[in-house]
């Protein structure tokens, strides 16, 4: 009897695996074949056992066969229990078919950058030789070489890149019949719990497949600009998966159970640069919006509203005499010259004490944009990126002093976006080639960030957002920002030191600091003038030669 009970517990689990594995496979004929073959084998096994009316061994345990024929399960479409080995075999067949179908479209990318090399992944977009990858995979590359799954090698040229989405398009010159474009899926239809298969080149191991599930949706992913770069932008609507993703997977594909690409594997959350079960994927909805424009124009114009804000929480809502359950985005700051300023949006004009901490309150609360409700800052960022165009007029519904009103905003292009892609060459002034090292990641202090740090909006300087331990900056105690703030989809870490002077020279932005670094020598001693918590201080620092990677 114990054996029968254990079997009864095993069968639902097997059926669940079968459902997760075999449903939704109709897009590929060979998937139908695998599923039908497994089902036929199960039916034949069950008919043979039932006709004999004898005990059967399952997982090394003897189980009495029930004489009655089981009624079909109307929920699953399965008319009998399944043998674990057969289901595992069916799963293996389906995953094998996915790999055979998708892997010829996935390529291995090798780059060279002034004596240094890198690698990543990409996938064939069309028969014209266009290949999609992550922007960070090919950034700064002097040479790009592609290897296909069949061993074919070709040099590639850069067509266009967009750091805000971390997407890029490169192109190879090969006959159309040598190229196998992917089949794109709809990331809007993805749900948590679905099968997820990643194919790429982790650690340079070509054509590697890993398997997992969709583990989260609607994430925001900061795009790291690299040491001494600009602000980190956040990609909206990012998919999270537990399919193992490692360095080298960047630019590869995440596909569903039908072999359709639902996103581009882009980043991992891990303290050791290896898979910790949390991977992030740029959704196919963004890919299909950005890539065609990169191909046609070499760039993607990201729409810009020009506000800093935060998701409205109950404590802030109550401080503004709004219902505690009111949802929306509180506008904290409005950037000068932005579409938001031109349309008359208002930022927070006063502070309140929330749990002993100061908080900005009193600004407009955005509750809808276009025809979509806005419940969080992520909702606003996603709509702006995915559903608006530069020059388009958008209706924003907001609460102002508790009263609902609507305003019209004409979207503009985000300032400072890259020009159409050109040939990339490393110069002595580029970060990767600088011989002198401080050990910081910084960004120009912009008005909205300055105001968030309770500094004058016109305050300039280089805001530190990361300090490398045991670097020249780390050893003298320079401080990086620790508080994240979202400003129009850009993620800033605020609260760090702001460099405003280098010896007798003023530092008004990151360009000033980089120019001074270019002119410096290893072992040179400099005096930095900083703003720390609003106070002006001076710190001595000895520069060093950049360590070898």
Q: Is 79 assigned a catalytic role?
A: no
How far apart are the C-alpha atoms of 251 and 108, rounded to whole Å? Answer: 9
Catalytic residue flag (residue 112): no
Tokens 């794109």 — which residue? 184
d(CA 520, CA 341): 41
Do 498 and 446 form a contact (C-beta atoms < 8 A)? Answer: no
Q: Please tell me which residue in 121, 136, 165, 381 is annotated as part of the active site.
A: 136
Helix pair angle (29-52, 84-102), 10° resolution:
170
Q: How far is CA 526 from the centre of its chain?
A: 38
Rg value, the chain, Cα: 28
Asked if residues 239 and 193 have their Cβ atoms less than 8 Å apart, the reply is no
Say whether 250 is catalytic: yes
Q: CA–CA distance from 430 to each of 82, 295, 324, 529 (Å)?
A: 61, 26, 50, 24
Report yes or no: 521 and 436 within 8 Å, Cβ to Cβ.
Answer: yes
Active-site pick, 83, 97, 164, 166: 166
Which residues does 331 contact at the CB level (< 8 Å), separation at least 6? Answer: 307, 308, 309, 340, 345, 346, 347, 348, 363, 364, 365, 366, 398
What own/partner pairs with CB < 8 Å and gap ≥ 24 does 218-221 have?
Answer: 218/378, 218/382, 219/280, 220/378, 220/381, 220/486, 220/491, 221/166, 221/266, 221/267, 221/280, 221/282
d(CA 130, CA 144): 13
SS3 285: helix
Q: What is the DSSP code (8-state) at residue 418?
A: P
Catalytic pick among 103, 207, 250, 308: 250
Distance CA 248, CA 108 (A): 9
CA of residue 383 relative to chain centroid, distance = 16
Show which residues are catalytic: 136, 166, 250
């Amino acid at each position: 009897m114990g054996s029968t009970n254990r079997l009864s517990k095993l069968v639902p689990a097997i059926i669940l695996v079968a459902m997760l594995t075999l449903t939704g496979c109709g897009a590929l004929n060979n998937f139908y074949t695998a599923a039908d073959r497994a089902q036929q084998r199960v039916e034949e096994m069950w008919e043979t056992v039932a006709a004999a009316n004898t005990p059967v061994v399952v997982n090394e345990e003897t189980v009495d066969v029930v004489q009655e024929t089981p009624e079909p399960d109307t929920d699953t479409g399965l008319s009998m229990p399944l043998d674990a080995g057969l289901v595992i075999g069916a799963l293996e067949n389906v995953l094998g078919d996915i790999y055979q179908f998708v892997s010829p479209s996935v390529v291995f990318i090798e780059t060279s950058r002034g004596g240094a090399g890198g690698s990543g992944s990409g996938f064939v977009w069309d028969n014209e030789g266009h290949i999609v990858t992550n922007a960070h995979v090919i950034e700064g590359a002097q040479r790009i070489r592609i290897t296909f799954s069949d061993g074919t090698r070709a040099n590639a040229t850069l067509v266009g890149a967009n750091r805000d989405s971390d997407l890029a398009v490169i192109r190879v010159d090969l006959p159309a019949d040598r190229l196998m474009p992917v089949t794109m899926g709809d990331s809007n239809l993805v749900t948590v719990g679905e099968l997820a298969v990643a194919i790429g080149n982790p650690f340079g191991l070509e054509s590697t497949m890993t398997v997992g599930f969709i583990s989260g949706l609607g994430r925001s992913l900061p795009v790291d600009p690299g040491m001494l770069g600009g602000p980190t932008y956040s990609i909206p609507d990012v998919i999270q998966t537990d399919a193992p993703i490692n360095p080298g997977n960047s630019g590869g594909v995440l596909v569903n159970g039908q072999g359709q690409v639902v996103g581009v594997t882009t980043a991992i959350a891990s303290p050791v640069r290896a898979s910790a079960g949390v991977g992030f994927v740029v959704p196919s909805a963004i890919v299909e919006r950005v890539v065609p424009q990169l191909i046609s124009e070499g760039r993607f114009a990201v729409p810009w509203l020009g506000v800093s804000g935060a998701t409205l929480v109950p404590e802030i809502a109550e401080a503004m005499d709004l219902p505690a359950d009111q949802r929306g985005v509180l506008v904290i700051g409005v950037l000068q010259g932005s579409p938001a300023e031109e349309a008359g949006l208002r930022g927070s004009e006063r502070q309140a004490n929330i749990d002993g901490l100061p908080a900005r309150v009193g600004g407009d609360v955005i509750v809808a944009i276009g025809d979509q409700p806005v419940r969080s800052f992520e909702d606003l960022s996603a709509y702006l990126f995915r559903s608006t165009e530069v020059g388009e007029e958008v209706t924003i519904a907001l609460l102002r002093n508790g009263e609902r009103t609507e305003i019209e905003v004409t979207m503009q292009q985000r300032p400072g976006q890259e020009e159409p892609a050109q040939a990339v060459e490393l110069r002595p002034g580029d970060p990767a080639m600088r011989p002198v090292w401080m050990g910081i990641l910084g960004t120009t202090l912009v008005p909205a960030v300055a105001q968030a740090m309770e500094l004058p909006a016109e305050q300039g300087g280089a805001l530190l957002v990361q300090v490398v331990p045991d670097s020249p900056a780390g050893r003298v105690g320079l401080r990086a920002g620790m508080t994240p703030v979202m400003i129009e989809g850009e993620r800033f870490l605020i609260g760090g030191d702001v460099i405003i002077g280098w010896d007798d020279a003023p530092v008004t932005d990151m360009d000033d600091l980089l120019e001074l670094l270019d002119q410096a020598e290893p072992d040179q001693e400099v005096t930095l003038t900083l703003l720390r918590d609003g106070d002006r201080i001076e710190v001595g620092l000895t520069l060093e030669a950049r360590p070898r990677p």
